[in-house]
Structure 1
Amino acid sequence: MTALNPPTARPNALSTWLVCVAAMVLVMVTIGGITRLTESGLSIVEWEPVAGTLPPLTQDAWEAEFEAYKQIPEYIEVNGPAGMDLAAFKKIYFWEWFHRLWGRLIGLAFALPLAWFWARKAIPQGYKPRLIALLALGALQGAAGWWMVTSGLSERTDVSHFRLATHLMIALFTLGGLVWTALDLKQLARDPAAGNARLTGFAAVVLVALAVQILLGAWVAGLDAGYVARDWPLMNDAFWPAGIDWSSGWWFAFTHDPFLLHFLHRWWAWAVVVLLVVMARRVKRMGMRPASIAIHSSFGTQILLGIATVMTGMAFALAVLHQLVGALVVASTAWGAHVLGRKN
């Protein structure tokens, strides 16, 4: 059981702050989707946490950035032959720069208020380690982002889909942690004797199933597997796709084949939906209808967006919304899991 100790603790204020940071993470996931879809992620070939805050400010600086980009395989094999000029480079540079800038802003939006709350002795007993862990996750996310970028700077023309998945999964795990901690603090503000929610067995099953779906989606994105079929529910007029390459074994196919991954991402989604429906119904029976509505609304919208994205040949706006709403599914599922695990 968590107590309001010291007496200056302000759980409600901390909860509001964490919700705001969670909203910034949602924006970050959206920007990340745009960065991926515009193939902007390799446009900045160095990681400069401080100096990189500002974009190039002179023509010479822009020319230097473009020359650095010209040395990597993406330019040599793809964009150079396609005739990319400095103006086109500036467009992809913007999204990667903005993506990194927003990450820095999230770090400041977490670290500075955390220091202030800490100095004011406003953090309830038992929450400091959890808040430090969330800060560490943010730092890990930045490091994973650069680790992802480095996979495309020497031998590949794109980033590793495994590293892309790691980058996305850390972001969404952080989002879930922010939501869960904010809800614990909100509960504490309402009832100083309230205990923290626990993760129930059923909620863990739902979260694992959702994590598998997110992992498949990240691999689909990283391998451009969304483009292999434009019909639904069939794939190229067949339920089981004909283009799967099994020549390197089932495990390689499972982790690399775009046809198989597209198929699995489509149909595993329905297993997740069944679990989310059950979760939402249980949450509603516990008197938390808003959480139930959030779960139903987010996964329902996500399913429709997924189908529409496929059938429009990966229309840009729909693909970006699909990534954003996927993050909302994570947030609403974390809310539902928290409701199921409340002690009071």
Structure 2
Amino acid sequence: MTSDDKKHVRRWYWSGAILIFVMVVVGGITRLTGSGLSMVDWNPIMGAIPPLSDAQWEETFEQYKQFPEYQQINYNMELPEFKTIFFWEYIHRLIGRILGLVFIVPFAWFVIKKKIDSKNIKRGIILFTLGLSQGFLGWFMVMSGLVDIPEVSHYRLAAHLLLAFTIVGFCIWYALDLTPSANPREETGKELRWWLYGLMGLLVIQIIYGAFVANMQAGHVYNTFPKMYEHWAPPELWVIEPIILNFFDNIVTVQWIHRVFGTLIGLIAIAIWIRSFILDTTFFTKKWSLSLLAIVLAQYLIGVFTLVFHVPIWLGVLHQAMALVLFGFIVAFLKTLNQTDSLGSHEIN
């Protein structure tokens, strides 16, 4: 691959990451506005065309009326209100279709014109497979809310969100792999990498529990901080039998775990920043560590405000978006250390 080829493929990877970020933001709005079950069918091709005439809107609304969300929750909803919730779910799915085109068309061009090497062809196939899986998983999630209870499975929502984060992580890693590195060699980066791996592990769990909190509306209970009213550990933590189910189905326990892991992530970010000085890392690595700490603290504060203000839509969406920013930043930090550390070079193939 020539330098121009690498530049174009790199931009392609970054465009995928940016579009998925937009899709995650719109997905957050869709969830918080209760719009996710407004489209009751999945038609990847013809579904790209929304209702255009009054008759089509009436037909689409009648289809919605056949499902539990309308029958149990929105039975007083009129057509103008339905159009509003339909809009957000439609936009969410439309971005997914655009993302598919943005991926497939350039990839085909790169391959036909021989502008991409075998390693990046394999990476493209990985991204295509993950993207296709994400589409099916999104519909699988929606289906869970179209049966008896008008609410999607929080397990499926967590899987859907985590896969979106994973695809962004791959896009960022692959893009940076095609970026010439002008950073100084970091001889002490090995320990920081292990700290970052630990932080990433905690963040993955935090993302899962963030999805649980969002879908179970656990952010609408115990809206005080730092205590949950007068308790550090409220009495409802272990009320479900068997106890293991509290970790997944108890809204109080889910929120409490989300708080605890958020605090742990903050403490580890502080530790990474301190270790970057103790290990006498380069100025470049110290800047990355400080930036990581700033993003973590900003996300922590956004989470606190989201909770105490009873999850306003804009704060809930911002909190989800910042989680993806943090995830992407950690991936980039790890890639940077891998590129500059003479002790090793782990690579996602």
Output the TM-score relative to the length of structure 1: 0.90
User: How far did 1:33 drift?
Assistant: 0.4
**Aligned equivalent of 1:92:** 85
Aligned counterparts of 2:268 and 2:100: Cα–Cα separation in 1: 34
Q: Which deviates the most, 267-276 or 48-57?
A: 267-276
In the superposition, relative to structure 1, how do residues 283 and 144 fare at CA in structure 2: closer, same or farther (>3 Å)? farther
State whether residues 283 and 291 of structure 1, in contact with CA within 8 Å, keep that contact through their aligned partners in structure 2: no
In the superposition, relative to structure 1, how do residues 134 and 289 fare at CA in structure 2: closer, same or farther (>3 Å)? farther
**Aligned equivalent of 1:323:** 320
Aligned counterparts of 1:96 and 1:282: Cα–Cα separation in 2: 45
**Aligned equivalent of 2:234:** 241
**Aligned equivalent of 2:347:** none
For the pair 1:33 / 2:10, whether they are aligned, the reply is no
Q: Residues 1-344 of structure 1 correspond to what in structure 2 (within 5 A)?
A: 6=1, 10-80=5-75, 83-187=76-180, 201-279=194-272, 285-286=281-282, 287-288=284-285, 291-342=288-339
User: How far did 1:7 drift?
Assistant: 5.1
Unmatched 5+ stretches in structure 2: 184-189, 343-349
Q: Aligned with 1:235: secondary structure? A: coil
Count of residue pairs the alignment pairs up? 331
In the superposition, relative to structure 1, how do residues 119 and 45 fare at CA in structure 2: closer, same or farther (>3 Å)? same
Output the TM-score relative to the length of structure 2: 0.89
Q: Which deviates the most, 130-139 or 235-244?
A: 235-244
State whether residues 9 and 123 of structure 1, in contact with CA within 8 Å, keep that contact through their aligned partners in structure 2: no
Q: Aligned with 1:10: secondary structure? A: helix
> What amino acid is aligned across from residue 211 of structure 2 in structure 1?
A
State whether residues 10 and 123 of structure 1, in contact with CA within 8 Å, keep that contact through their aligned partners in structure 2: yes
State whether residues 291 and 335 of structure 1, in contact with CA within 8 Å, keep that contact through their aligned partners in structure 2: no
Aligned counterparts of 1:281 and 1:98: Cα–Cα separation in 2: 43
Unmatched 5+ stretches in structure 1: 1-5, 192-197
Aligned counterparts of 1:93 and 1:261: Cα–Cα separation in 2: 30
Aligned counterparts of 1:69 and 1:44: Cα–Cα separation in 2: 7
Aligned counterparts of 1:278 and 1:18: Cα–Cα separation in 2: 32
State whether residues 42 and 149 of structure 1, in contact with CA within 8 Å, keep that contact through their aligned partners in structure 2: yes
User: How far did 1:282 drift?
Assistant: 6.1
> What amino acid is aligned across from residue 210 of structure 2 in structure 1?
G
Aligned counterparts of 2:260 and 2:43: Cα–Cα separation in 1: 41
User: How far did 1:334 drift?
Assistant: 0.6
**Aligned equivalent of 2:187:** none
> What amino acid is aligned across from residue 24 of structure 2 in structure 1?
V
* Greater than 6 Å deviation, 4+ residue runs: none
User: How far did 1:113 drift?
Assistant: 1.2
User: How far did 1:288 drift?
Assistant: 3.8
User: How far did 1:243 drift?
Assistant: 2.8
> What amino acid is aligned across from residue 31 of structure 2 in structure 1?
R
In the superposition, relative to structure 1, how do residues 280 and 128 fare at CA in structure 2: closer, same or farther (>3 Å)? farther
In the superposition, relative to structure 1, how do residues 17 and 41 fare at CA in structure 2: closer, same or farther (>3 Å)? same
User: How far did 1:316 drift?
Assistant: 1.5
User: How far did 1:131 drift?
Assistant: 1.7
Aligned counterparts of 1:24 and 1:290: Cα–Cα separation in 2: 27
Aligned counterparts of 1:107 and 1:276: Cα–Cα separation in 2: 35
Q: Which deviates the most, 101-110 or 269-278?
A: 269-278
In the superposition, relative to structure 1, how do residues 14 and 7 fare at CA in structure 2: closer, same or farther (>3 Å)? closer
Q: Aligned with 2:41: secondary structure? A: coil
Q: Which deviates the most, 67-76 or 283-292?
A: 283-292
State whether residues 73 and 156 of structure 1, in contact with CA within 8 Å, keep that contact through their aligned partners in structure 2: yes
Summarize deviations over 1:293-319 as a string: whole Å, max 9, x none. Answer: 442232121111000001111111111
User: How far did 1:280 drift?
Assistant: 5.0
Aligned counterparts of 1:282 and 1:139: Cα–Cα separation in 2: 41
Summarize deviations over 1:141-172 as a string: whole Å, max 9, x none. Answer: 11110000000001111100000001000000
User: How far did 1:205 drift?
Assistant: 2.3
State whether residues 53 and 101 of structure 1, in contact with CA within 8 Å, keep that contact through their aligned partners in structure 2: yes
State whether residues 9 and 121 of structure 1, in contact with CA within 8 Å, keep that contact through their aligned partners in structure 2: no
> What amino acid is aligned across from residue 334 of structure 1 in structure 2?
V
In the superposition, relative to structure 1, how do residues 138 and 78 fare at CA in structure 2: closer, same or farther (>3 Å)? same
User: How far did 1:119 drift?
Assistant: 1.9
CA-based RMSD of the aligned residues comes to: 2.3
